[in-house]
Amino acid sequence: MRIVLISTPLGFLGSGKGGGVELTLNSLVSGLLSLGHSVDIVVPRNSKLHKNNEKAKLHFVEGEDQISWQHQNYNSPVTIPDNSLLACMLEKGLDIAKQADVMLNMSYDWLPIWMTLNVEIPVAHIISMGSESSVISNLISKVYAKYPYNFAFHSKIQADDYPFIKKPIIIGNGFKLDNYTFQNSVKGPLAWVGRVAPEKGLEDAVYVANKLGEKLKVWGVKEDEIYASKIEQSFPKGTIEWMGFLPTNELQKELGKCRALLNTPKWNEAFGNVVVEALACGVPVVAYKRGGPSEIIQHGQTGYLAEPDDKKNMLSYVEIIEKIERKKCREWVEKNASIDIFANKVVNWLNKVIDESK
């Protein structure tokens, strides 16, 4: 297959602004290349792919970022800035796609989904969020009625946010296991990883660490500085240890030294890459029972699922985290979330999209 992939129109790959999509894109490209497919990727200027993905052809585009949908109101209209990065990416993508079999869109936005109805090349979409916008959900519903195979989701629970999707195509996600080293650090500190933004609920994890009289190590981009400093001020000084945003290799080295990852999303997390990354290092995860993490974590085997927003319940599970065998965490990733498994699911799906478009 010759695939033209459209990246996220936020920041550049490697900046962390694109959240989990950045890692997902890299995993997918690795998997597609190793299965012998050809991949052209349209990306924002300054983007870098992980090593081993050199065979993918990058096409750089400049322009203004989109506003991320999780930071708008559910009923906000679509905004397209002047000199829109997304529009430029699509223009470039369409041009290259004249020689391709399929265009694969990884941006959660209105324009590429609308395009599905108006261009000849099949456009397939990996939907990376739950329903965050009425205008996008309504458009997905309209396009789905005509092209029921063109949307894929990371988890069943994410797809449930789009009730009009009758038989959702679930692709999970994939992780390059060689990039994560197992560490048996049962006595390490507590970790939290993610974009620091209200939908990620960092404050609940800090509450747990503070109750235990411990520090919480926090990795990730401070997307919302005001929110970050509000949390910092509501707990004793030094409870949060800000570790910054690290590339995967450095992140996993540090994360693997931790005894547990706390995962506290307040929204319907589509998947939760950081949960699998922690498991891959042997780090059990305590998460709220909502969104993707509730499909990933095996309660009592690879971590615990606390009642949503119940910080005390989360605390009680952190107190018994040593009951989890760290080897089982890594094993779950090997069996369920390798790059091969993920790429094969995506290839089967894209073949179906292409066949149905003929």
Residues at the interface with ligand UDP (CB under 6 A): 16, 19-20, 23, 193-195, 219-220, 245-246, 248, 251, 271-274, 277
Q: Among residues 272 and 303, whose Cβ is nearest to ligand UDP?
A: 272
Query: In the beta sheet, which residues pair with residue 216?
Result: 190, 240
Distance CA 239, CA 234 (A): 10
Residue type, 352: K
Q: Among residues 41 and 97, whose Cβ is nearest to ligand UDP?
A: 41
- Least distance from ligand UDP to the Cβ atom of residue 78, Å: 21
- Residue 25, judged by CB atoms within 10 A of its CB (0-12, 13-18, 19+), counts as buried
Listing DSSP states for 52-121 in one string gives T-TTSEEEEE--BPPPPGGGS-TTPPP---TTBHHHHHHHHHHHHGGG-SEEEE---SHHHHHHTTT-SS
Q: Among residues 97 and 216, whose Cβ is nearest to ligand UDP?
A: 216
Q: Among residues 52 and 316, whose Cβ is nearest to ligand UDP?
A: 52
Q: Among residues 72 and 351, whose Cβ is nearest to ligand UDP?
A: 72
- Least distance from ligand UDP to the Cβ atom of residue 91, Å: 26
- Least distance from ligand UDP to the Cβ atom of residue 146, Å: 29
Distance CA 31, CA 341 (A): 9
Residue 274's SS3 state is helix
- Least distance from ligand UDP to the Cβ atom of residue 151, Å: 18
- Least distance from ligand UDP to the Cβ atom of residue 248, Å: 5
Q: Among residues 150 and 155, whose Cβ is nearest to ligand UDP?
A: 155
Residue type, 300: G
- Least distance from ligand UDP to the Cβ atom of residue 17, Å: 9
- Least distance from ligand UDP to the Cβ atom of residue 195, Å: 4
Distance CA 306, CA 292 (A): 14
- Residue 123, judged by CB atoms within 10 A of its CB (0-12, 13-18, 19+), counts as buried
- Least distance from ligand UDP to the Cβ atom of residue 180, Å: 10
Query: How many residues are recorded in the chain?
Result: 358
Q: Among residues 112 and 293, whose Cβ is nearest to ligand UDP?
A: 293
Strand order through the sheet with 2-6: 57-61, 38-44, 2-6, 102-105, 123-127, 151-153, 169-170
Q: Among residues 100 and 171, whose Cβ is nearest to ligand UDP?
A: 171
Q: Among residues 23 and 318, whose Cβ is nearest to ligand UDP?
A: 23
- Least distance from ligand UDP to the Cβ atom of residue 232, Å: 18
Alpha helices in the chain (DSSP H): 20-34, 85-96, 110-115, 134-146, 156-159, 202-211, 225-233, 248-255, 273-280, 293-296, 311-318, 326-336, 339-357
Q: Among residues 92 and 125, whose Cβ is nearest to ligand UDP?
A: 125
Residue in 62, 53, 48 with CA at minimum distance from that of residue 9: 62
- Least distance from ligand UDP to the Cβ atom of residue 112, Å: 18
